């Protein structure tokens, strides 16, 4: 103990500037030591756990801890050097207390942002449609309540009455509210969308005749990307009052990406109904994009003027495969109908007998068709390979984005890559649609 007392007496005997320097160096040393301890012990533990919430909490919590240690070190150094009764210590004490309150408020707010979705997912119905990536109204209200309480306490420490300030701004707020009626309506309706959750980012929706994938749900508007790579911006006021068709929902089993595929095929009245239905159904069961459950179905839905119309029903697991699946089905239906002798009717006309150019060039046409088919087989294989590669990269980037130790620059680059890959998939869809 005598050595410690001697060290304390030595420090107290230093001049003022030496004491300030020692205090600041000790503070920085403490911050560095705690940071090293966090990275070597806590971060390794966080990475080993299977939870995602601790990865999201690690970075914001540690930054606030470092700031808390830094502010505490400055305050203790001031008290040590100047004394508790010094005028500077007394006058700045409310400021430090307010900073501690705001730091605690910020820590509680970010904890609510991360933990409330975890709690909500834990107690939500397992069979409900999976929802992710959206802030619910309960999170916003909880964080707003925490920040209001924190600001009230912080301003009270500074001798400022927050309620009085708000009352004095009431008239000004009313004027601003009237001037920004549409904007405020968009903001309020964005929270209504977050509460009701009719769709999420990535879903394919249809609004007022516009169909596309939701790329963002903002505070003022919702943006969807059409198959033609057009970005449609819909104000939340208009969206909340419109009928929204979500083509990527409705499965009822929590899978939010599958979509129904419906296609009509007409055949001649001379064809046998059972023969046609069995031929189409066999193709649907062979299609690599159609899932087994729910089972595909083929029904006769209409006896038209010139044809019997059959409708095929199936489910595609991922809506980005819809047009590829439709292309596969139509191509194979056409080939199998020819092989089975099933006729697809089309308008016919009587033509005067003339020399047919097709009879002269029949051999050349067959050769061209054969070459074109071989080329299209290569193109289809390459297209399938590129789509599969893009999907794998999207999954890898999504996994990396879940990591809590990414820098802002790395996260931004990964998000740019993710948007580019999603754009590639959308281009494939547009190609399939054409």
Q: What is the pLDDT along the chain (434 residues), one digit of tens a residue?
A: 566 666 666 766 666 788 788 888 888 888 888 888 887 777 777 777 777 777 788 888 888 888 998 888 888 888 888 888 888 888 888 888 888 898 889 888 888 888 877 776 665 544 343 333 344 567 777 888 888 888 888 888 887 776 666 665 565 566 655 555 667 676 777 777 766 777 777 778 888 888 888 888 777 788 888 877 788 888 888 888 888 888 765 433 444 567 778 899 999 888 888 888 888 888 998 999 898 877 888 888 989 888 899 999 888 887 778 888 999 999 999 988 888 888 888 765 555 454 444 444 555 545 654 665 576 576 667 767 777 777 788 878 877 777 666 666 777 777 767 766 765 565 445 444 43
Distance of alpha carbon 47 from alpha carbon 49, whole angstroms: 6
> What is the bridge-based pairing of β-strands 308-316 and 259-267?
antiparallel
The three-point CA angle 42-46-51 to 5° equals: 155
Give span(s): CATH 3.30.70.100, the chain. 259-347
Buried-state track 409-433, b at ≥16 Cβ within 10 A, e below 16: eeeeebeeebeebbebbbebbeebe
Main-chain phi, psi angles of 189, to 5 degrees: -70, -25
Q: Do 321 and 298 contact (CB within 8 A), yes or no?
A: no
CA end-to-end span of the chain: 85
Whole-number pLDDT of residue 137: 62
Strand partners, 320: none
The alpha-helical segments, DSSP class H, found in 170-320 are: 170-179, 181-196, 236-240, 273-286
Q: Which CATH number fits domain 259-347: 3.30.70.100, 3.20.20.210, 3.40.50.150, 3.40.960.10?
A: 3.30.70.100
User: How big, in percent rounded to 5, are the helix, strand and coil portions of the chain?
Assistant: 65, 10, 25
Non-local (6+) Cβ contacts of 337 within 8 A are 267, 279, 343, 344
Whole-number pLDDT of residue 310: 92
Distance of alpha carbon 127 from alpha carbon 74, whole angstroms: 53
Whole-number pLDDT of residue 309: 92
Strand partners, 316: 259, 290
57: helix, coil or strand?
helix
Give span(s): CATH 2.30.30.60, the chain. 182-246
Strands of the sheet containing 221-225, edge to edge, are 231-235, 221-225, 210-217, 204-207, 244-246
User: In terms of CATH architecture, what is 182-246?
Assistant: Roll (2.30)
């Amino acid at each position: 103990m005598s050595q410690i007392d001697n060290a304390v007496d030595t420090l107290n005997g230093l001049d003022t500037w030496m004491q300030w320097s020692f205090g600041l160096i000790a503070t920085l040393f403490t911050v560095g030591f705690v940071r090293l301890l966090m990275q070597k012990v806590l971060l390794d533990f966080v990475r080993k756990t299977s939870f995602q919430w601790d990865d999201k909490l690690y970075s914001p919590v540690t930054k606030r801890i470092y700031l808390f240690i830094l502010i505490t070190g400055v305050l203790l150094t001031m008290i040590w050097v100047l004394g508790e009764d010094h005028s500077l210590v007394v006058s700045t004490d409310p400021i430090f207390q307010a900073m501690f309150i705001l730091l605690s408020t910020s820590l509680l707010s970010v904890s609510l942002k991360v933990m409330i979705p975890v709690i909500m997912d834990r107690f939500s119905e397992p069979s409900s449609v999976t929802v992710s990536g959206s802030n619910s109204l309960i999170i916003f209200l909880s964080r707003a309540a925490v920040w209001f309480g924190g600001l009230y306490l912080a301003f009270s420490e500074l001798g400022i009455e927050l309620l009085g300030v708000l009352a004095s701004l009431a008239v000004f707020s009313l004027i601003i509210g009237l001037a920004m009626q549409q904007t405020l309506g968009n903001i309020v309706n964005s929270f209504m969308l977050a509460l009701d959750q009719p769709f999420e980012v990535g879903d394919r929706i249809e609004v007022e005749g516009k169909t596309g994938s939701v790329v963002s749900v903002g505070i003022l508007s919702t943006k969807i990307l059409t198959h033609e790579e057009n970005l449609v911006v819909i104000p939340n006021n208009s969206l909340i009052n419109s009928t929204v068709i979500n083509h990527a929902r409705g499965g009822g089993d929590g899978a939010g990406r599958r979509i129904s595929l419906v296609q009509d095929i007409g055949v001649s009245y001379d064809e046998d109904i059972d023969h046609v239905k069995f031929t189409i159904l066999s193709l649907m069961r062979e299609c690599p994009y159609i899932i087994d459950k729910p089972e595909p179905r083929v029904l006769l839905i209409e006896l038209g003027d010139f044809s019997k119309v059959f409708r095929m029903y199936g489910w595609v697991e991922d809506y980005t495969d819809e047009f590829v699946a439709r292309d596969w089905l139509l191509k194979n239906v056409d080939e199998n109908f020819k092989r089975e002798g099933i006729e697809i009717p089309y308008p016919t006309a009587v033509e005067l007998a003339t020399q047919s150019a097709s009879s002269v060039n029949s051999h050349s046409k067959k050769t061209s068709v054969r070459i074109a088919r071989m080329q299209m087989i290569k193109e289809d294989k390459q297209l399938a390979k590129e789509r599969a590669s893009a999907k794998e990269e999207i999954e890898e980037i999504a996994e990396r984005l879940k990591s809590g130790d990414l820098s802002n620059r790395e996260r931004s680059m990964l998000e740019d890559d993710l948007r580019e890959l999603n754009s590639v998939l959308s281009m494939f869809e547009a190609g399939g649609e054409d």
